[in-house]
Every structure is written in structure tokens, then in C-alpha cells.
Amino acid sequence: MQIKTRTPLLQFQNPPKKLTDSLSAAVFVGDDLWVTSDETTSVERLSTDDGLTFQHHKSFSLKSLINLPADGTQFDQEIDIEGLDFRDSHLWLIGSHSIKRKKVERTDKGTDAKLIEKLGTIEKEGNRFVLARIPLIKNSQTGERELVSEDPPGPNPILKASRLVGDTTSDALSDAIRTAEKDEKLKYLSIYLDIPGKDNGLDVEGLAVAGEKVFVGLRGPVLRGWAVVLELSVDTSDSSQLILKEFESKRSYRKHFLDLDGLGVRELSLHGSDLLVLAGPTMVLDGPTILYRWKDALKTSGESVVRGNQLTVEMEIPFRQGADHAEGIAIVPDAGPPSQVLVVYDSPGDERKKGVVDAVRADVFLLTNH
């Protein structure tokens, strides 16, 4: 497809209140751009007629498509979606899997005692423990791609929405991490499961799917400067649920440690056999956002320490203090050469929303270092 501007406009129709300020993931499926926010329980579809503006917005509520663990309870919060990908007629998504500490702003009013109490409050209930895939099919009448719970509808669907088994406090992935290190002398991730994500606790941000291989990027923890990407092998043969398969180590995941100069993973995207890694500050820090290329990531056959010429810097993405936090990347289909990547932002600066309503500007960059 042809995007004719470096700053395409994403135009929504009656979006959820925080959507344009909190975009967290993006992926192209054909000419459709799918985006989501870490503040909602929906996924948004956009398309462009002129290569300048993505519009024709349609929102898909995930509550009608998958079983959200906190649906209908007092903890029915956002999923905190931090990764999207598309493979084999399904849209994949992942929540942060993190617990959160109550936020105290500099401008909060109240006594010091009340604010200190608030800062000591940790929550672990909600919809954040989700790894799911949802059928994405073309409507036979309109020709538009739509998310559905099953296809065809009826007693014997060929495609069916499914997710890892889980509840409001954990799922099969977090349970596997806790179990794997329970009796081990070496500790990597399990001790971070009970630490809030913004305190360098476990915090998923990034998803890339290639067949049974599923890569999950972690914003935190960063271990002595090393970022972490988990590799899963997901069995999709049971249409009712996703199942983690064990590797030769008898564990349900492999660990890859990446030298990202102390940054954490903010997003992942496959590009051929390589993995593009969007790296940014962990916790609540502002700082540089850098796009790395992990060469031949798909060819890995075991756990690894990724450094040196295995990692190259594609580009440094501009950021501003307190604004323009790059969160989602999507390879533009059939563009180039050179290839193009679209970037969406959390906390976009005012210039990205200037003169528009219910809209925000993304960026498009060229990929030249491959």
C-alpha cells in the first residue's frame, strides 16, 4: 500500500474517551490498520482511501468475542493490551500481565497521609492476564474484515476465538513462570510477578507470532541492564483454548536476554526472519526510544544472550519529555523498497492532535539497515 505522508492521521468515530491518548499496539492486515489502547477493552479497525488519512473506523468489543476474566465484576477494567499480531486468519493480542500500584500525581490534593496510603495500594484484579487469538474473516456481503467469535457460526466452527486459561490474578503463562523457578536456585522472572509493572515488575509489552512460535517482549523486568523476550510454543489444536507446549527443558518458555543499553521492550514485529524490537525506558521513566533489529530471531533453537552483531540499530525514534512515547509499530505491507514502519504513540504531544477531533497523527519511517 502507499502511505503518502510521514504523519498519517488516524481518524476515529466516537472513540472511547482515552483512545487517542493511549494507543499501545498496531498491526496491518492487508490494507486495514488495526490498533488498540491499553485503556480499553476493544480493538479498532481503520483503512485509508488517499494514503493520508486512516478512517472508516469500526470498533470491536472484545467482551463479545472472548471470555474476559473480570467481565461483569467490580474489577472489569481495561485489558491493558500491549501487543497485536496477525497469523493464520486470527488476530492475536496480549495483556500486560502486570499488577499495578495506585498512581499519585504531583498535583493530587489531600493530606500526605492519604497520598502515602494510596501509594501503598497494589491491585491484582482485572483483565490483564490475557493471551488470546480471535478469528478475523472477510464478511461475504461487505468484503470487510471483521472479528468474530467463531466461523462459521454453529455447532462445528472451523475457526474459534480462544485464550490461555486464566483468571483475574494469573494465567497459564504467569503460572508457568512461577512454577518453573519455584525450586530452582537460579531466579530470573518469578520474583517479579508480585512487583507492580511500573516498579520494574513483570510487564508485557510486545507480541510477535510465527506459526507455533510466539515471542513476548517484557518492558520489565530489566535484569542488570538486560531486556527479556520470552519465546513460547503455543498449541492451537484445541479450539476451546490455547495451550503452552513444553520445550526440551520441560519449561513452557525460553528466555532470550537482549543488550538494549538498559532499555526494556516496548513492542515486537516480525520482518522476514528478523525481529524488530522497539526499546524504551522501563518503569515510568522518559528517555530515548530505539528500534533494534534482532537478526534471524526466528532461527533460534534454544535460549540465548543476544548482543554484538546479532543486534543492529535501525533508528532512534524522536521523543519529547512527557509526550510522544512510541508504543506500537506495524510494518506497512507492500511498501518500498525500502520497507516502511508505522509508529503509534501513548501520550501524544499536542501537535499530533492539533486542528482535529477524535484523531491523532502517527509517524511513518523508512527501514534502511537490512
User: What grid cell was written down for 53?
Assistant: 488519512
In a domain, 181, yes or no: yes
**pLDDT, tens digit only, all 370 positions of the chain:** 999 999 999 999 999 889 999 999 999 999 999 999 999 999 999 999 999 999 999 999 999 999 998 888 877 678 899 999 999 999 999 999 999 999 999 999 999 999 999 999 999 878 999 999 999 999 999 999 999 999 998 888 999 999 999 999 999 999 999 999 998 899 999 999 999 999 999 999 999 999 999 999 999 999 999 999 999 999 999 988 999 999 998 999 999 999 999 999 999 999 999 999 999 999 999 999 999 999 999 999 999 999 999 999 999 998 888 899 999 999 999 998 899 999 999 999 999 999 999 999 999 999 986 6
In a domain, 1, yes or no: no
In a domain, 149, yes or no: yes
Closest CA to 292 of 276, 274, 316, 310: 276
In a domain, 67, yes or no: yes
Q: CA 163, CA 67: separation in Å to the nearest integer?
A: 8
The enclosing domain of 304 has a CATH number of 2.115.10
Q: CA 333, CA 339: separation in Å to the nearest integer?
A: 8
In a domain, 254, yes or no: yes
Q: How far apart are the first and last CA of the chain?
A: 20
- Contact at 8 Å (CB) between 38 and 81? yes
Question: How many CA atoms within 13 Å lie on the side-chain side of 322?
Answer: 1
Domain span at residue 271 reads: 9-367
DSSP three-state, residue 316: strand
Count up the domains in the chain and report the number: 1
In a domain, 2, yes or no: no
- Contact at 8 Å (CB) between 369 and 341? no
Q: CA 125, CA 172: separation in Å to the nearest integer?
A: 16
In a domain, 4, yes or no: no
- Contact at 8 Å (CB) between 54 and 20? no
User: What grid cell was written down for 317?
Assistant: 525514534
- Contact at 8 Å (CB) between 48 and 54? yes
In a domain, 151, yes or no: yes
